Structure 1
Amino acid sequence: MSGPQIHAGPNLAVLVTGGSGASGVAVARALHKAGHNVFTVGSHRDRIEAAAQEAGGVAPLTCDLAKFDDVRQLRNDVTAAAGRVDAVIHLVGGWRGANGIAEQSDEDWDFLHQGAVTTLRNVSRVFFEDIAASGHGRFAIVSSTAVEKPAAGVASYAAAKAAAETWTMAMADGFRKASEADGGGQAAAVVLVVKALVDDAMRRSHPERTFPGATDVEELAAAVVQLFNTPGDELNGTRLRLADQPAQGQYLDLEA
């Protein structure tokens, strides 16, 4: 990615949702090492506390992001501790597949819609104004290459991810309009695109697999940190495609 390095500096308050998983741990750890004040969120207290301990130096919070009122309370908790929220890295999702269109079940659709869309809508509506007001506001989700060429077996998954991408791009338009209204904010909404995510535990569990095209969670974490070192007007409304990339979190391309 081209452009000047703006180095946002320490003590930006960053919320990592979906923090109990391997990607949440990697992203929270990398943001903390970059000097940010990180809050990591999960739905299960024991798991998120363990994940926060593994990440090191981050604060664990418990919230059901599918419930709007709970997300509003989450904002109260974070702002009470940090004074503000500068960014949200939204890593909540899930995966379900089937053998074809006819076998896309209502149960799978409800699960995927709640994980990919409902939580996104709640979190973005609650934190939008905080992020828009920040000098280095960032909102990012992780999406899938399945959106680009959806297959019948993952119709529900691809549709939910496509809806999440559309919502995030609408957020980008909101940030753009907020910037025009106040004379030049730096908030940006971004979609990070992967084929799949992989971590060391998955490799150990499946030594027979090579995970072709998968993005390591550490590469995802490096890409997230880089979001804060790139001007918001370059990032806002873009798809950063991490799939099939070389190591070190380098971007393959940047799609508007």
Structure 2
Amino acid sequence: MSAGRALNVVVTGGSGPSGIAAARALRNAGHTVFTVGSDRPRIEAAAAEAGSGVTPLVCDLADLAEVRSLHASVHAMLAGTGGTVDGVIHLVGGWRGAKGITDQSDADWEFLERGAITTLRNVTRVFFDDLAASDAGRFAMVSSTAVSKPTAGGASYVAAKAAAEAWTLAVADGFHRGQSGHKQDPVEQHSAAVTFVVKALVDPAMRAKSPERTFPGFTDVEDLAAAAVGLFSSPAADLNGQRLLLGPEPKA
């Protein structure tokens, strides 16, 4: 469960609508929020939109050395409080598709591998020990319902998301082995890694641009943000390794 205190949460991929919504919701819940993007003007504007007190940080999350520098910067800012990082909400995304299998391009795969897999690998490797040590450690990523029903046109996208989900399950196993599953000295599970699953996300700008659309099956970014906040008040043992669907069940 939540430690009953203000937590320190990093939102990666914070420049987009989902990052802004998550940072705002976490800040409104009383947590200290660091929001991360690769473009300084965009992430600073996103942090300002999320609300006073959200700290913008610039990092290329696909560069391991930069992620290590990000980690050091966050720790330096928290040094005076005696705190460390309690949560990482990983919202780095991107879509590339094709007509079928034969025209899946290497350029699209490299883009998806970098955004969906490499960034997640780097962030979890660097922040794993923080989350494992926290009494309310949480990691979350966002995946797609398409992983359960891939299409030929979305092959590269779905393969990248499936790899990211598998890595997240491995992170969950790491938390389990170090806590409730520890053979010599088991303790109550207090850290968890989860995958949020959506068909697609929708935000106010998308609704305003296409007022005639109903976006069936889409998950509003505000609902994603609320789910991120809710992670910190749910038992880690119930969450760890779970694939949590946000939105209606996809049709068969």
Output the CA distance in 2 between the equivalents of 1:156 and 1:89. Answer: 23
What amino acid maps onto 2:237 in structure 1? Answer: D
- Contact 2:2/2:136 (<8 A) preserved: no
Output the CA distance in 2 between the equivalents of 1:221 and 1:25. Answer: 9
Deviation at 1:210, TM superposition (A): 1.6
TM-score of the pair, normalised by structure 1:
0.91
Question: Which structure 1 residue ranges, 5 or more long, are not aligned?
Answer: 1-5, 246-251
Question: Which structure 2 residue ranges, 5 or more long, are not aligned?
Answer: none
Q: Residue 222 in 1 paired to residue 226 in 2? A: yes
Secondary structure at 2:168's aligned position in 1? helix
Secondary structure at 2:62's aligned position in 1? coil
Output the CA distance in 1 between the equivalents of 2:39 and 2:6. Answer: 26
Secondary structure at 1:41's aligned position in 2? strand
Deviation at 1:7, TM superposition (A): 4.2
> Within 5 A, what are the aligned runs for 1:105-144?
105-144=105-144
The more displaced of 83-92 and 175-184 is 175-184
Output the CA distance in 1 between the equivalents of 2:189 and 2:221. Answer: 30
What amino acid maps onto 2:72 in structure 1? Answer: N
Identity across matched positions, percent: 66
Output the CA distance in 2 between the equivalents of 1:8 and 1:32. Answer: 16
Output the CA distance in 2 between the equivalents of 1:151 and 1:211. Answer: 20
> Within 5 A, what are the aligned runs for 1:92-171?
92-171=92-171
Map Cα deviations across residues 41-60 of structure 1 (whole Å, 9 max, x no partner): 00000000000000012100
Output the CA distance in 1 between the equivalents of 2:132 and 2:69. Answer: 19
Aligned to 2:17: 22
The more displaced of 203-212 and 84-93 is 203-212
What amino acid maps onto 1:63 in structure 2? Answer: C
Aligned to 2:54: 58
Deviation at 1:103, TM superposition (A): 1.1
Output the CA distance in 2 between the equivalents of 1:148 and 1:243. Answer: 15
- Contact 1:10/1:34 (<8 A) preserved: no
Secondary structure at 2:195's aligned position in 1? strand
Aligned to 2:43: 48
Output the CA distance in 2 between the equivalents of 1:7 and 1:124. Answer: 21
Secondary structure at 2:130's aligned position in 1? helix
What amino acid maps onto 1:240 in structure 2? Answer: L
Aligned to 1:38: 33
Aligned to 2:73: 77
Alignment size in residue pairs: 241
Deviation at 1:61, TM superposition (A): 0.2
Output the CA distance in 2 between the equivalents of 1:111 and 1:21. Answer: 17
Secondary structure at 2:213's aligned position in 1? coil
Map Cα deviations across residues 54-88 of structure 1 (whole Å, 9 max, x no partner): 00121000000000000000000111112411110
Deviation at 1:93, TM superposition (A): 1.5
Secondary structure at 2:157's aligned position in 1? helix
> Within 5 A, what are the aligned runs for 1:180-199?
180-181=181-182, 183-199=187-203
Deviation at 1:244, TM superposition (A): 1.9
Output the CA distance in 2 between the equivalents of 1:53 and 1:150. Answer: 38
- Contact 2:116/2:161 (<8 A) preserved: yes
The more displaced of 173-182 and 28-37 is 173-182
- Contact 1:28/1:58 (<8 A) preserved: yes
The more displaced of 75-84 and 127-136 is 75-84
Secondary structure at 1:103's aligned position in 2? coil
What amino acid maps onto 1:70 in structure 2? Answer: E
What amino acid maps onto 1:120 in structure 2? Answer: L
Aligned to 1:248: none
TM-score of the pair, normalised by structure 2:
0.93
Deviation at 1:128, TM superposition (A): 0.4
- Contact 1:95/1:112 (<8 A) preserved: yes
What amino acid maps onto 2:87 in structure 1? Answer: A
What amino acid maps onto 1:30 in structure 2? Answer: A
